[in-house]
Amino acid sequence: MKFDLSKLKFNISKKKEEKEKKSPMREWWDAIVFAVVAATLIRWIFMEAFTIPTPSMEKSLLVGDYLFVSKISYGSRTPKTPFQIPLTHGKIWGTDIPSYLDFVQLPQFRFPGLSDVERNDVVVFNWPAEGPDIPLDLKTHYIKRCVAVPGDTLSIKNMQVFIDGQPFENPPDMQYRYFVATDEALNERFFQRYDIALAEVAPVGGGYYLQTRPDTAAKLKALDFIKDVIVMTGPPDRPEPRIFPNYPEIFGWNTDNFGPLLIPGEGMTLKMDSGNVAKYASTIRQYEGYDEVKVEGFKLYLDGSAVEEYTFGQNYYFMMGDNRHNSEDSRFWGFVPEDHVVGKALFIWLSIDPEPGFSINKIRWGRLFSLID
């Protein structure tokens, strides 16, 4: 008996083709799964898109700017909350429904990065002051400029930031709040001409409150119908209750006159005298991983034991918005721990004017693909 091997080979090949053939629905499903997995990995390891929702960084970054943020610059973090819907952050799109389950929390590690966080970097991070019930990696994203790194001594004198006694380089588009005294009614066209996005009529006194750059304030002051332009700075003798570390009766700091404050870092040991307990106890309580932290009579107790000195377990950073009088930042809620750092803002890939209406001019063409300084 003879066997026709060529026919046998043909039949096997035909059955293999029939087995591997997929329906259009299956092909679409496989493509969607692949795209989601690939996007999730890229978003986790390499780069993620963010948008600017508030004016705290104006004019450096504008509301409606869409950014790409590098995760590998400082090192990608491993997920702490593994059970969450892919490509979400905290909430399901368009709802207030949580997109995660937090009954499992993994230890978090950071892969080696291309660099450390440096002064003047524009950094995206998880907002440290958000409630403890929200997992660290799902806290709200903030974006600010790093003005001080571990080992720096920061102070602010009459709005100017100093690092170790030397003036810190101010961002070129930094803004402050001003009062413009005038009897004239200034319309929207006037404010657009001077690139002023936020202005409001003063309830008394005849004039306007607005946010703008110092050079623009000087131009306004030179106008004939402007009586005066006054920067709304807080004097050194007027402490603000909300200012970190929330001891106005001891330090007397405000947003424009602050410090000196040493920025702690991993391995740094500080004597826990009354002044340092007031400055650092809240940071140790919230971010250093102790079960019990108490302060009694400005004496620090960790897990029931009195502490005379303390060695920090991670690095911390001081972040500020470039719109200095319209920014909730480290002056109000303290340091940003290293494990909260998400990535470095690289460039703007899209910018859309958030004002109502639609036209081709809503796209800010001049900002597309511009680097972030």
Asked if 309 contacts 333 with a C-beta cutoff of 8 angstroms, the reply is no
Is 303 domain-assigned? yes
Looking at every residue in the chain, the average pLDDT score rounds to 90
Confidence check: pLDDT of 131 > 90: no
pLDDT digits over 151-178, tens only?
A: 999 999 999 999 999 999 999 999 999 9
Task: Report helix, strand or coil for 53.
Answer: coil
pLDDT digits over 18-73, tens only?
A: 456 778 788 887 778 877 788 778 887 888 999 998 999 999 999 999 999 999 99
In 3D space, the residue among 97, 234, 113 whose CA is nearest the CA of residue 176 turns out to be: 234
pLDDT digits over 315-327, tens only?
A: 999 999 999 999 9
Compute the 3-state secondary structure of the chain and give helix, strand, coil in percent, each to the nearest 5. 25, 30, 45
267 dihedral zone (left: phi>0; alpha: psi -120 to 50; beta): left
In degrees, to the nearest 5, what angle opens at C-alpha 21 toward C-alphas 19 and 26?
A: 115
DSSP classification of residue 233: P
Range 111-132 average pLDDT: 94
Is 333 domain-assigned? no
- Domain housing 300: 269-311
Question: How far is residue 373's CA from residue 210's CA, in Å, rounded to a whole number?
Answer: 24
Is 147 domain-assigned? no
Helix intervals (H) in 134-221:
188-193, 214-221
Asked if 128 contacts 334 with a C-beta cutoff of 8 angstroms, the reply is yes
Is 281 domain-assigned? yes
Q: Residue 108's pLDDT is what?
A: 92
Is 79 domain-assigned? no
**Which pTM does this prediction carry?**
0.90
Range 101-119 average pLDDT: 93
Is 98 domain-assigned? no
At which residue do the structure tokens 């950014």 appear? 67
* Total domains present in the chain: 1
Cis peptide bond upstream of 245, omega within 30 = yes
Is 283 domain-assigned? yes
Under the banding of pLDDT at 50, 70 and 90, the label for residue 8 is very low
